[in-house]
Amino acid sequence: MANVAIIGAQWGDEGKGKVVDWLASRADIVVRFQGGHNAGHTLVVGNQTYKLSLLPSGLVRGKLGIIGNGVVIDPEALLTEMARLTAQGLTITPETLRIAENAPLILPLHGALDRAREVARGENKIGTTGRGIGPAYEDKVARRAIRVCDLAEPDTLSAKLDELLLHHNTLLRGLGAAPFEKAVLLDRLLELAPLLLPFAEPVWELLDEARRAGKRILFEGAQAVMLDVDHGTYPFVTSSNTVAATAASGSGVGPGVVGTVLGIAKAYTTRVGSGPFPTELFDDTGRLLGERGHEFGTVTGRPRRCGWFDAAMVRQAVKVGGIQGLALTKLDVLDGLPELKVCTGYRIGGVEVRHLPAAQGAQASAEPIYESMHGWKDSTRGARSYAALPAQAIKYVRRIEELVECPVTLLSTSPERDDTILMKDPFEG
């Protein structure tokens, strides 16, 4: 049996939470390997709705959850999330959740700097969540990050805060924002230490033992390939690498452990925040997709921009993300539309191209080249077999497979975990 990595194949919010939850029933361990609490997964289980930002989705299934070293952790946000889900009946203890001891922390000064920068950018803002993820990753790369393990060493923590504040307070003052006091930050971190340290360990060792024992590991990505800091629509991206290769480095395993890579894509396209979006719709159809799909950011609550399925973009995500099978979600949102359009490429400066280029200006000027298809009248909502789908819906899925050059191996037809059609089990490799 193979391990499985799940990543987004668009700009995030593709329904990864439901798919991870559905597959977690057959996994032993679920690992978050990048991102921070700017990511959000919504799980609908019966009459309960769970909203997760940092915690691995497998906790809802009672599986061991691991937060890997590639994640930047806001300790206040993590503890708040743990308390909220505990109140909903989940068991979250050091027996069910482990945190990489070398994971970097997000401090209040990171969020303050994030927000101050966005204000300073004015009309050129990136559209960050303002939660400090970017500045925390900057500190990690600059080798001045405070990590989970530092909470166990007060002297180390104090010395690191001196360096951190020298850097950040200078920037905050320059942006007209209030500086932070060391004593306040140090006292709070020392208060948080006994709450977090019981969950900390070298998770690379735990994962190696699990691998040797033949346990199934599910690697859970946040955001999506087109938000990858290298491969996405830069600079309108997140601050981490979101491709499947990061599952290894972000959790402490070798690349051969990652296993099958499943990409998640909606049957249409959405995006939260700023940045290029060639297939965005500003008409009644775009509004209809948003209303039917309940398109609001799990973390931010911001309405998502909606548009037609962009096969050229997903094909690009398949190539750079290492995706071997595609899970197509929210097919039911397209029910009843008389005509559907799929983007097969772009026209930039009069030239036709099959992918989004890296240059920012070229991305912004990309005009979609569409292929039109008939829609279907009958409902796909709740379908649990291919036979239950309208013939035209099957044609739509088959055409997407051809255009993205990747098989659709799973279909989701409603938010309910069991309304899922599985064509190929990713755990079978």
Catalytic residues: 13, 41
Tell me the residue ranges of DSSP E strands in 96-190. Answer: 97-100
> Cα separation of 21 and 60, whole Å?
7
Contact residues for 62 (Cβ-Cβ < 8 A; gap 6+): 91, 96
Which of 29, 65, 83, 37 lies closest to 195, judged by CA?
83
Helix (H) or strand (E) run with residue 345 in it: strand 339-348
Task: Compute the residue count for the chain.
Answer: 429
* CA–CA dist 380, 99 (Å, integer): 40
CB 69 within 8 A of CB 203: yes
Those residues whose C-beta lies under 8 Å from the C-beta of residue 364, and which sit 6 or more positions away, are 276
Rounded alpha-carbon distances, angstroms, from residue 428 to 26, 128, 177: 11, 38, 53
State the Rg of the chain over Cα. Answer: 22
